[in-house]
Structure 1
Amino acid sequence: MAGASSDSLATARQELDTVLVSGGTQLASELFTALAAVDSSAPLRRALTDPSWSVERRTGVVGSLFGSKVSEDALRVLKTLAGLKWSRTRDYGDSLEQLATTSVAASAERDGLDGLGRLSDELLSFNRAVQESHDLQRALTDPQAPASAKGNLAERLLGNGSAEAKLLVRQAVEAPRGHKPVDLIRGFVDTVAERQRLWIAEVTVARALAPAQQERLAAALKRLFGRDLKLDVAVDPELVGGIRVQVGDDVVDSSLQSRLHDLQRKMAG
């Protein structure tokens, strides 16, 4: 996904983060069901992405088709996507799939970084089991087998897996959308990893921090970001002084090097 579609997905993620975090697996299930409807109809995909149609007309299509069938939160997601610009008709569905996966990851995130780690491990373990067995690969991709039967088999492979893992694995084998299930699951793992980054503070300092300094920094970052963060500390003597912290896309930079660059830009401007 590139160009306008990439920008639109980023916008949707930002606008809908609160909805996706609170919605969890229930919201994700609704979005996956809506995705099946979108994937089954080329005219619908064109209607939701046609740049010659007004935003009101595109979101009106969403309301008429899904308004009585999904929750307000799911409808908001569908309408938000319909109001954005897409380079290809398929990109609407691809983005809907990613947002649904984000909602699943956010459900696991209620147990913090450990919850996200467990979900990643479950998905990767499932992939390893499938890749080690040709019989499983054939069973899970057999075009003659009912989708529900493949989903049931996938759930049995997970055993006592979490509700989040079961939902994503069932989605991957029942509606692979032209991909191999294991490839789709790798994409799900990437989405989970994006959520994990929000719990890790990448800290760069000019000199190594003493344990007491790390504790004070961890406490300060908790106040700033509202959650406990795992510190990943690296030493870079070229930083000159100060500290640089990155949590996801957020950067807190008080290094002398940064201030020197700012001064140079102002002098050059």
Structure 2
Amino acid sequence: MGSATTQALAATTAAIAQTPGLTLDVSGELFVAARALADSPHLSGALTDNAASQQSRDRVVTQVFGSTFAPQTVALLQVAAEQRWSSADDFVDAVEEIAIRVAAVSDTGDIENELFGVLHAIAGNPELELALGSRLGEASAKGALVDRLLEGRAGAGARLVASAIVQRPRERRVRQLLERAIRIVSSQRGRVVASVRTATTLNDQQRSRLAETLSSRYGTPVSLNLIVDPAVVGGLRIEIGDDVIDATVASRLSDLRQRLAG
């Protein structure tokens, strides 16, 4: 990510808190805008042309989206278009990120854990992951499939985010898209995500104690992405950003073998 994009994304993200009346409908419209921008290099190029004035870019947003989208959606798109981006692709990705953040603001449900559930379900079903990640098939059909799969299993926010991101994979695996969405939701809610691998499922008390311990250690609320992996044998392997806490039996056995071999 270029320095221009970093600053532009920070400015656009900050506008969320200054925009009243945000709803999941606004989030959905931003996802639609992101797909429209991705499908039209001419449009995304016009909105990231640094030679054009802010007023002209605002007019383009109004002309293209003003008649069909809510005022809040148009306002956020204008803020994004007024920034300097390192590339048009960065701009499109940012609009999608803002859509995810607005969903996190609008839906107070447990979007992170519900998206974790989607992530694990897809990871455990290679055929489903292949179908969603394939270049074949209509993007809207993939979104509708995910929405149907989550009906009754996840709230409106998680369903919207999951069904929207699979419609624009941009050469990434579905799991990568979901992991990115989870990080964005956690960031918007002032949390960090810890991926925790265990040999067996943790009970509610263990999950709560681990989350409290990590939150205290890092000085911020921590969400847990729990992954059952028999390869760890016992103990825990925790990844938070660049930090890795490996307290598994498998790692201790590996260290022992290396010492014996040496």
Distance 1:140 1:232 in 2: 34
What are the Cα deviations for residues 163-199 of structure 1, in whole angstroms up to 9, with x where unaligned? 0111011112222233222211111100111133269
Structure 2: distance between partners of 1:102 and 1:120 = 12
Q: How far does the alpha carbon of each residue in 1:26-73 deviate from its partner, in whole angstroms, 9 at most, with x for none?
A: 100111111111111111111111111111111111111111121111
Q: How does 1:16-31 map to 2 (within 5 A)?
A: 16-19=16-19, 22-31=21-30
For 1:136 and 1:198, how far apart are their aligned partners in 2? 30
Number of corresponding residues: 200
User: Unpaired segments of 5 or more residues in structure 1?
Assistant: 110-114, 200-230, 236-244, 248-269
Q: CA deviation at 1:234?
A: 5.8
Deviations 1:210-262 (A, max 9, x none): xxxxxxxxxxxxxxxxxxxxx95469xxxxxxxxx879xxxxxxxxxxxxxxx
1:257 maps to none
The aligned runs of 1:1-269 (5 Å cut-off) are 1-19=1-19, 22-109=21-108, 115=109, 118-160=110-152, 161-197=154-190, 232-233=215-216
Runs of 4+ in 1 over 6 A off after TM superposition: none
Structure 2: tracts of 5 or more residues without a match: 193-213, 222-262
Q: Is contact 2:37-2:43 (8 Å) kept? A: yes
Which has the higher Rg, Structure 1 or Structure 2? 1
Q: Are the structure 2 counterparts of residues 233 and 128 from structure 1 closer, same or farther at C-alpha, using a change threshold of 3 Å?
A: closer
Identity %: 29
TM-score of the pair, normalised by structure 2 = 0.69
Amino acid at match of 2:147: E
Q: How well do the aligned residues superpose, as a CA RMSD in angstroms?
A: 2.5
TM-score, normalised with respect to structure 1: 0.68
Residue 222 of structure 1 corresponds to none
Whole-angstrom CA distance in 1 between matches of 2:7 and 2:84: 9
Question: Residue 84 of structure 2: SS of its match in structure 1?
Answer: coil
